[in-house]
Structures are given as C-alpha cells and as structure tokens.
Structure 1
C-alpha cells in the first residue's frame, strides 16, 4: 500500500533536517588528512535540539495514528519513549563535557543578557520543557524499561 502523496513532497522540513544531519555526519567523519575529533558541547546542543523536535513529531504522530491504527500507534509511542531515553543520554553527555576554556571578556558577548539565558542553560530549558510533556504521557516504569524486541513481520 502506497501513499497518495509522493515521499519527496510529504514532509519537506523533515527531509531538510535529515539532509542536514547526513551532511554533518559526513563532515565529522574521520579522513586520512584529519583524525576524528571528539564531540563538543555545541554539537551535542544542536543534536539535542534536533532530538527534542523529533520527539515532538513522534508524539504527534503517535497521538493521531493510535485511534485508527492502535498497534501502529503503540509502536510509535514506544519509539517516542526510546527517543526520550536517547535525548536524556545526550543531555547528560553534554554536562559531562568540559566547558570552553576562554572566559568572556568585556569585548565579548554576554550570554547572561540573552532573553533565553546563557547558552549552557538553553539545553536544560529545552530538556525540562520536553520532560514535562514526557511525564504527562509516560510512566516512570516505561521510561526505565528495556527496549522490547521487534514483534511485527516486516513486509517486503
């Protein structure tokens, strides 16, 4: 069964985001002339923003899919939970990385004056906002449960 909307036209913003991720993955891949560099806070912050947006999309898809197709909706809800676990791991990794070495001087920017707060806090604000939604829809037992095995047969 195929969709009436061509895949190329269905979700242009999601396609663009996926293309961006592929681009950054290739850009960070080690090459002969450049060894792989470890993750830094900037990359993890951007990745966290993408994961929380994807988390919101999965939440919407699960809510709209569940009434007409309960089994598919449950799988999307499970993916929603697993994505939240990945988002939490990225948030935790962000805080384990060292902060930038250079302290701002008078001529540099002052992140404490930004309306959304210092950049180090934006990931926490985003995580707390997403966590509020997760706690309303997911039980702590579900969040801590191991991932179940794949239970459906893939059609070819």
Structure 2
C-alpha cells in the first residue's frame, strides 16, 4: 500500500465507516431493541470486515511480520465478535418458531435465518483455515502504542 495515497483511495471503506457512524448516532434511538433484521445486517458487515482484515493480514505479513501478526490477532477477535452476533440473532424473538435454530445445510435463498447461517458457515471455513482453536479461546493481547 502506498504511504502517500490520496485520502479518497478507499472510498467504499470510508463510506461504510461513515454509514456505521451515522447509524450509531441517529438511527437506533436510545432504549430501542435490536431486531433480527438489524442483527443480520450487522453480521453481514462484520463478516465483510472479517474478509477484508484476513486479506490485509496476509498481504502485510511477508514484508512486515509484526504488523501482520497484529492484524491476524484482530482478525481472530473480529471472528469472536461475529460469532457472538450470530448467537444473539438466534436468541432474538421471531415471528415463526420453526426458524430459531441454525441450519447451515439448507440453501441461502430462504428465510433470513438461513442466510445468516450460510454466511456464518462460510466465514467459519475461512477462520479454520488460518486460526487454531487455541487462538480462538486465548485472551486478547494488549500492546502499547509504539511510535
């Protein structure tokens, strides 16, 4: 990545970040509850970030091993957050009791529960390719800012 890149070199990522900030400030009123569709969209955002972080870690690791390790750790922690959001989705109330359990073996074109489970299963395959079970359960490392 070019250290002197123009500020708009990542316009879609900047737009997504701005959208999340706007939603956080304005679209979820205090005291309101998240619903399944809200959590589904958040899960989609997290899995997208997870894939991006995976690619960044892999591209950064060869020339800058220490930075690549930190990005890989962030990748693992983001997966943990994504898994918790998926679990929360299944604990929220639904209009139909038949769609409360995760069925990743079914096709993604059906009800929302199938879509989130398919997305989560696909992201889980990527995690298992690069992460050990020990990494997933280890406590986060803390680092000091070194400039």
TM-score (norm 2): 0.86
2:116 equivalent among 119, 123, 142: 123
Structure 1 residue runs of 5 or longer lacking an equivalent are 31-35, 102-113
Q: What is the total number of aligned residue pairs between the two structures? A: 136
CA distance in 2, matches of 1:43, 1:154: 37
Structure 2 residue runs of 5 or longer lacking an equivalent are 97-106
Moved more, 59-68 or 17-26: 17-26
Larger radius of gyration: 1
Q: Which residue of 2 aligns with 1:54?
A: 49
Moved more, 125-134 or 9-18: 9-18
CA distance in 2, matches of 1:134, 1:57: 13
- Does 1:66 pair with 2:65? no
Q: Which residue of 1 aligns with 2:103?
A: none
Q: Which residue of 1 aligns with 2:15?
A: 16
- State the shift of 1:83 in Å: 0.1
Distance 1:68 1:39, change over 3 A: same
